[in-house]
Every structure is written in C-alpha cells, then in structure tokens.
C-alpha cells in the first residue's frame, strides 16, 4: 500500500472507521518510539502517514494514572510496560498474578482480584485511587478468545459462548461502569473540575461481540456520547488485532510469524489511542492493528484464568509473585430419583391411570437410566451423584439398577412404592424403611445413610424413624435453599379450624417442650424442592395436578442458571442442588439441556465441586454440629 510523506491536520482525517497498520520493518526501531502509524479508512485504501517516529513525549501521558485489566496476559503485560515507559502510574489488575518488570515499582501497583462482581471491582478502583490518585485512563483488556478451538458457529458449544460472553462482555461492562463512577466521584471532590485526559481503550480479541463490527456499531456508538456527560472531553475507542505475532506461542499456535505485528505494537496502539494530545480527535472508533495478515495471535488455554477470591498486593519482585487465593466454593449436589413404575403406584396413583401412564415408568428404567448414565459419564461426574431408588424399582428393574450401582454413585432410599408418608401409619412407615434398608444393603454391600421422601412428603414421624435407624441425612425439606441445615424437632403444626372462635387458633408456633429443649436433630437436611427439579415443569402427568410438561427446557435452564449466579454472588460456601428423574431428563428433548447445564456449571472451574449428597451432609455436619 502506498504512503504519503507528510502529516495532515486532524481536521483532514475522514470520519470513517480506521485500521491501524504497522509496516513490517518498523518494529525494531527505538523501544521508546512508535513505529510508522497509518490510519487507513476501511472503505478506502488511501493512507495517511502521521509520523515517522513519535517519541514518548509526543503522547503527553507523563504522570497520568492508568488502570489496566487483564494485566497478566500477553497483551496486558505489554501494555503495562508501555505505559510505564511513557511515565505513567499504572495499576495492573487481573484475576491471577502477573510477572512484571519491577524497575518502576514506585509507579506500579498490582491488584489480584475478581472482575465479575461490581463490589470487588469497585474495591480495586478505590485501592488504585488510594495509591495513585484519580484514574485518567482505563484499558479494558478483553481476555478470552476461543479461536484456538476452531469452532464454526454451528459447532460452537453454548457453554463456550457463555464463558466468553461472561468474561468479555460482562466484565468489560463492569470495568467501564466503575471507571466512570470513579471519575464522577473524583471530579466532585475536585469541585467539578474535569479530570485531564479521561479516556477508555478496549483491547478486544476481534471475535463475536468484540469484533471490529460489533464494537464499532454497538458498544462504542452508544458510549461515545454518554461519557460526555461525565467529562466533556472524554473519549472511548477500541483496538482489535488483525494478524499478530505472539513470540511466546508454540510453533503450532500460529499460521505464520513472518512480517507480523507483535504484542508490543498492539500495546503502542493502545497508548496512542489513550492520549488526548495524539488522538484527541478520535472517539467511538475501532482500529484493527495489522500488516499483511501473516500470522495470528492465538490465546492459549492457560492464559484464560478462573475466577479467584479478592486479594491485592504491591509488586515488589518477580521472585515473589502475588498469591492466588481460592474463591467461594460451591458444592454441587446432583441427584436422580429412579421412580420408574413406582411413581404411578404411590403418590402418582389415580384410578384413571391407564396403560400409557405406566408405560412412561418402563421408559424411565429401560431408556432413561442408560441415557442418564452415559451422559453423566461423558461429563465425568457419574461417581459424584446420588441416586434415590425406591425398593420397587430396585426389585423390578435389577439389571438397570445394577448399572447404576456399578457407576460408583451413592444410593439413597426413596420409599418402596413411592408412597406418601401422610397416607401411612407410623408402623407402615417403619416396615417400609426396614425393608428398603435390607434391599439397598444387599444391592450395594453397605447400609444406606441418606433418604428422600417421595414427593417430599416427610413428616415428624419420618424424621423420628430416620434418626432412630441411624441415617445421616434427609433431602426433602427447604428451610434454606442453598445451605444444609439440621432437621427440625418441633411439634406438628395444626391446621386452622374455622368452626371455632378465632381466639382459639391465633397463636404463634409453639416452642419446644421442656423435655426436648433443642429444636434440631443430628440429622442433616440437604435442601431440595420443586424449583430444583425437572419433572414438575417438564413432564405431563395426566392425573397429577401440579405437573405441566410443556415448559420450554430453556426456561428451566435459565432459571437454574439464575439461581446459581445469585447464590454464587451472595451466599458463603453454598450448595447448588439439581434433581433429575429418568422419566423426564431421560427424554430426548430434555437430556441435552441437562448436559449443557452441567457443563456450564463445570465451566466455573475451581469454584465448584460436584459431590455425592452424603459427602455434602458429612462436610456440613462436621463444621456445624455441637452437642
């Protein structure tokens, strides 16, 4: 491409989308200088040469405070060094430690902290301002790209898209929001004097919502006007990579390195756009940094880090990296109720049940069970789940149940024929419990420790029996929805008798009796309810009043994700329960959603741990039980 030999006035720059081009021979010039810069309109190919070599003083960034996210990555670390070379004070922010040059440690502050929560990012901003004063420049380094996976759009897994969107879009939004709020607050403290050189540069990965088109006509278009309400000279721009050379990559990670732009060039482009003096006439633009498109920077899997718990430190030396504490742990309890035909005999019985209804029970055992087992093996959690199996199912479908036992899972009790406790006498409850203990012990070689009441119909006598027979936990109640708790020991609640005077039933819950001062049992309750299960919304049971069956699986998937995200942000060491039935989750249109949901939960990495329900109960009891 031809070039001109003189720099135009800023007013001559066309109002178009620009591409930043680096001639391939310029990258070896003085490290304190910029290589040749060309702004080439995307719709035209005439080039405008800005400067042969621009010294650091050209940017006039000395003394400004720059906040850089994703500072531990290849691009982020180069940007940190570039701004330090420009004389800036730099806060380097990431969710993992970064090895940086500490020769400028008096102007470098490193923060290792979460990015997904506003409160954590706000704390990072406050810490940065306490260290170096108001923040002038935000470099939002978008850090996740799945380019190395090679997925075409029709093969791109939803969980990969969700993870990329969560880190790239959501974290960038939080960073920009908190930066602008910090700027407003700082200017108010300066008696509404506007901060110098207030600018935002988004360093994007060039794919999806953060491609050149997505940024140019989406985020930048909206924000370039809004930020003027904060500061009349505020600017926002973005840089996306064209074809880059990543010298730290393996040979197979790049198509070609010959004549390719390096990360240092990309960092210099970020610094250029951040400068009001050099680029004050540019806002709302997305610049592609490339040369002849020979060699592409590919982000590696080990550069995409998991979320970590807030921590911060001032960088002292490379030999003493910042530690990376773990985040809040979410224990995931996946359980399956293998009701099969028994569901139609007990709580699901109706005199109007027909052969087609019972057929669904056979489907559950003979089709749903193998499908779920294969799916659980695919996602690697077959031995980390609990199957609650009625005695009737164990004896009626021994081959399928033996496959379940062979998977290494935990086996819990679930009645014999899925009978509801309120339909039984206490003696019947005892007889059923004893028979089911025998069946499960023979099946697995060890005595069961867990129980779930059919249709959650547990009553006080049921809890008495479970305690008497040495059970460690029940999974039928929901005094809490995301933490285990001890089963209650309280008198049965009495319904209101409206035939009697109101004064006879206007009383609070009675306190425990004197001979039973404690209102809790040693039996742990692992919470579960209709909102954590699949069957009620997604399977039609003709004669059961609370079934639906025609709810879109994506509605349930989104509800489960919303629940996960809320407890992740607001609860300390919570549990996340998912309950399935082979009748429901074994159906062809449901099982794909369940697998997708499990993989999405797994995408949170070290924040989550899949555990058998019994292990969760033991963990919680050890930390909370006192005599």
Q: Model confidence over 500-520: pLDDT tens digits?
A: 999 999 999 877 777 665 677
Most confident segment among 8-17, 50-59, 337-346: 337-346
Q: 110 by DSSP, 3-state: which?
A: strand
Percent of the chain with pLDDT over 90: 49
Backbone angles phi, psi at 173, to 5 degrees: -60, -45
pTM of the model: 0.52
Distance from the Cα of residue 166 to its chain's centroid: 7
The yes-or-no verdict on residue 597 having pLDDT over 80 is yes
pLDDT of residue 104: 64
Lowest mean pLDDT segment, chosen from 465-469, 480-484, 490-494, 593-597 = 490-494
pLDDT of residue 34: 39
Question: Is the CA virtual torsion 392, 395, 396, 398 positive or negative?
Answer: positive
Q: Which is more confident, 41 or 131?
A: 131
Distance CA 406, CA 540 (A): 31
- Contact between 41 and 17 (Cβ < 8 Å): yes
pLDDT of residue 627: 65
Neighbours of 342 (CB within 10 A): 29
Distance CA 412, CA 466 (A): 12
Distance CA 525, CA 308 (A): 30
Which band of pLDDT confidence, cut at 50, 70 and 90, is reported for residue 1? very low
- Contact between 385 and 335 (Cβ < 8 Å): yes
DSSP symbol at 588: H
Task: Please compute the mean of the pLDDT values over residues 278-297 and round it to a whole number.
Answer: 70
Which CATH code is given to the segment(s) 15-313? Answer: 3.40.50.720
- Sorted by sequence, the CB contacts under 8 Å of residue 453 that are 6+ apart come out as 414, 415, 420, 421, 462, 474, 476
CATH C-level class of 330-491+517-624? alpha beta
In the chain, where are the structural domains located?
15-313, 330-491+517-624
Distance CA 222, CA 200 (A): 14
- Sorted by sequence, the CB contacts under 8 Å of residue 377 that are 6+ apart come out as 407
What are the pLDDT digits (tens) for 601-615?
A: 999 989 999 999 999
Percent of the chain with pLDDT over 70: 75
- Contact between 576 and 601 (Cβ < 8 Å): yes
What are the pLDDT digits (tens) for 196-214?
A: 999 999 987 655 444 444 5
Distance from the Cα of residue 490 to its chain's centroid: 39
pLDDT of residue 101: 66
Lowest mean pLDDT segment, chosen from 20-29, 54-63, 376-385, 522-531 = 20-29
Please give the mean pLDDT across all residues of the chain.
80
**560-591 burial, b for 16+ CB within 10 Å, e for fewer?**
beebbeebbeebeebbbbbbbbbbbbbbeebb
Lowest mean pLDDT segment, chosen from 315-319, 380-384, 574-578 = 315-319
Distance CA 10, CA 86 (A): 23
Distance CA 515, CA 108 (A): 65
- Contact between 240 and 267 (Cβ < 8 Å): no
Q: Where are the alpha helices (DSSP H) in 469-513?
A: none
Longest dimension (CA), the chain: 100
pLDDT of residue 89: 95
**235-257 burial, b for 16+ CB within 10 Å, e for fewer?**
bbbbbbbbbbbbeebeeeebeeb
What are the pLDDT digits (tens) for 321-343?
A: 444 444 589 999 999 999 999 88
Angle subtended at Cα 458 by Cα 452 and Cα 462, rounded to the nearest 5 degrees: 95
Residue 442 CB-density burial (10 A; 0-12 exposed, 13-18 middle, 19+ buried) = exposed
- Sorted by sequence, the CB contacts under 8 Å of residue 260 that are 6+ apart come out as 24, 243, 244, 245, 254, 291, 294, 295, 296
Backbone angles phi, psi at 311, to 5 degrees: -160, 155
Q: Which is more confident, 165 or 584?
A: 584
- Contact between 187 and 194 (Cβ < 8 Å): yes
Residues facing 286 on adjacent strands: 238
Residue 371 CB-density burial (10 A; 0-12 exposed, 13-18 middle, 19+ buried) = middle
Distance CA 16, CA 610 (A): 52
Neighbours of 373 (CB within 10 A): 22
Distance CA 65, CA 83 (A): 9
Backbone angles phi, psi at 521, to 5 degrees: -110, 165
pLDDT of residue 348: 78
Q: Which is more confident, 26 or 108?
A: 108
Which band of pLDDT confidence, cut at 50, 70 and 90, is reported for residue 470? very high
Distance CA 95, CA 114 (A): 6
- Structure tokens given for 283: 């806002």
Distance CA 312, CA 324 (A): 9
What are the pLDDT digits (tens) for 58-113?
A: 899 999 999 999 888 888 899 999 999 999 999 999 888 877 766 667 899 999 98
Residue 392 CB-density burial (10 A; 0-12 exposed, 13-18 middle, 19+ buried) = buried
Residue owning tokens 């509800």:
559
Distance CA 176, CA 170 (A): 10
Q: 610 by DSSP, 3-state: which?
A: strand
The yes-or-no verdict on residue 429 having pLDDT over 80 is yes
- Structure tokens given for 280: 């004050």
Residue 25 CB-density burial (10 A; 0-12 exposed, 13-18 middle, 19+ buried) = exposed
Cα 23 to Cα 19, 38, 290: the distances in Å are: 13, 9, 9
């Amino acid at each position: 491409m031809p070039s001109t030999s003189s720099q135009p006035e800023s007013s001559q720059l066309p109002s178009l989308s620009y591409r930043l081009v680096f001639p391939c021979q310029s990258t070896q010039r003085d490290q304190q200088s910029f290589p040749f810069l060309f702004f080439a309109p995307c719709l035209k190919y005439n080039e405008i040469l800005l400067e042969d070599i621009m010294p650091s003083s050209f940017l006039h960034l000395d003394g400004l405070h720059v906040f850089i996210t994703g500072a531990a990555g290849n691009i982020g670390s180069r940007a940190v060094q570039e701004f330090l070379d420009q004389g800036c004070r730099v806060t380097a922010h990431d969710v993992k430690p970064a090895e940086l040059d500490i020769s400028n440690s008096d102007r470098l502050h490193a923060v290792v902290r979460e990015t997904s929560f506003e409160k954590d990012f706000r704390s990072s901003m406050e810490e940065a301002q306490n260290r170096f004063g108001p923040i002038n420049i935000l470099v939002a380094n978008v850090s996740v790209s799945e380019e190395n996976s090679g997925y075409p759009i029709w093969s791109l897994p939803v969980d990969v898209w969700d993870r990329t969107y969560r880190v790239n879009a959501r974290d960038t939004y939080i960073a920009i929001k908190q930066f602008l709020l910090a700027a407003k607050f700082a200017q108010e403290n300066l008696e509404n004097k506007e901060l110098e050189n207030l600018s935002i540069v988004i360093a994007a990965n060039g794919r999806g919502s953060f491609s050149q088109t997505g940024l140019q006509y989406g985020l930048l278009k909206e924000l370039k006007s809004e930020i003027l309400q904060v500061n009349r000279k505020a600017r926002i721009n973005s840089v996306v990579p064209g074809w880059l050379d990543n010298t730290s990559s393996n040979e197979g990670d790049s198509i070609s390195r010959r004549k390719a732009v390096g990360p240092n060039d990309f960092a210099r482009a970020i610094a250029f756009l951040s400068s009001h003096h050099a680029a004050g006439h540019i806002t709302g633009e997305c610049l592609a940094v490339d040369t002849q498109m020979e060699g592409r920077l590919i982000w590696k899997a080990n550069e995409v880090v998991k979320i970590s718990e807030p921590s911060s430190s001032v960088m002292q030396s490379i030999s003493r990296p910042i530690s990376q504490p773990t985040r809040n742990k979410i224990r995931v309890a996946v359980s399956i109720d293998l009701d099969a035909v028994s569901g139609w005999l007990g709580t699901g019985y109706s005199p109007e049940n027909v052969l087609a209804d019972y057929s669904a029970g056979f489907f559950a055992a003979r089709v749903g069970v193998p499908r779920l087992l294969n799916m659980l093996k695919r996602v690697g959690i077959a031995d980390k789940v609990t199957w609650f199996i009625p005695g009737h199912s164990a004896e009626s479908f021994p081959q399928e149940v033996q496959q379940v036992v062979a998977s290494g899972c935990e086996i819990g009790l679930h009645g014999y024929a899925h009978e509801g406790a309120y339909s039984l006498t206490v003696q019947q409850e005892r007889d059923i419990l004893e028979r089911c203990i025998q069946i499960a012990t023979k099946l697995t070689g060890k005595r069961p420790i867990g129980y779930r009441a059919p249709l959650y119909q547990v009553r006080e006598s049921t809890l008495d029996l479970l305690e008497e027979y040495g059970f460690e936990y029940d999974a039928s109640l929901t005094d809490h929805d995301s933490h285990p708790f001890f089963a209650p020991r309280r008198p049965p609640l009495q319904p209101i008798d409206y035939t009697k005077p109101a004064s006879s039933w206007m009383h609070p819950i009675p306190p425990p009796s004197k001979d039973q001062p404690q209102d809790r049992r040693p039996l742990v309750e692992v919470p579960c309810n209709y909102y954590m299960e699949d069957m009620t919304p997604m399977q039609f049971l003709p004669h059961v009043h609370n079934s639906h069956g025609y709810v879109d699986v994506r509605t349930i998937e989104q509800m489960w994700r919303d629940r996960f995200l809320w407890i992740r942000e607001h609860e300390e060491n919570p549990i996340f329960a998912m309950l399935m039935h082979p009748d429901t989750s074994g159906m062809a249109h449901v099982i794909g959603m369940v697998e997708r949901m499990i993989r999405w939960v797994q995408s949170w990495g070290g924040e989550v741990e899949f555990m058998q329900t019994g292990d969760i109960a033991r963990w919680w009891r050890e930390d909370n039980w006192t005599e």
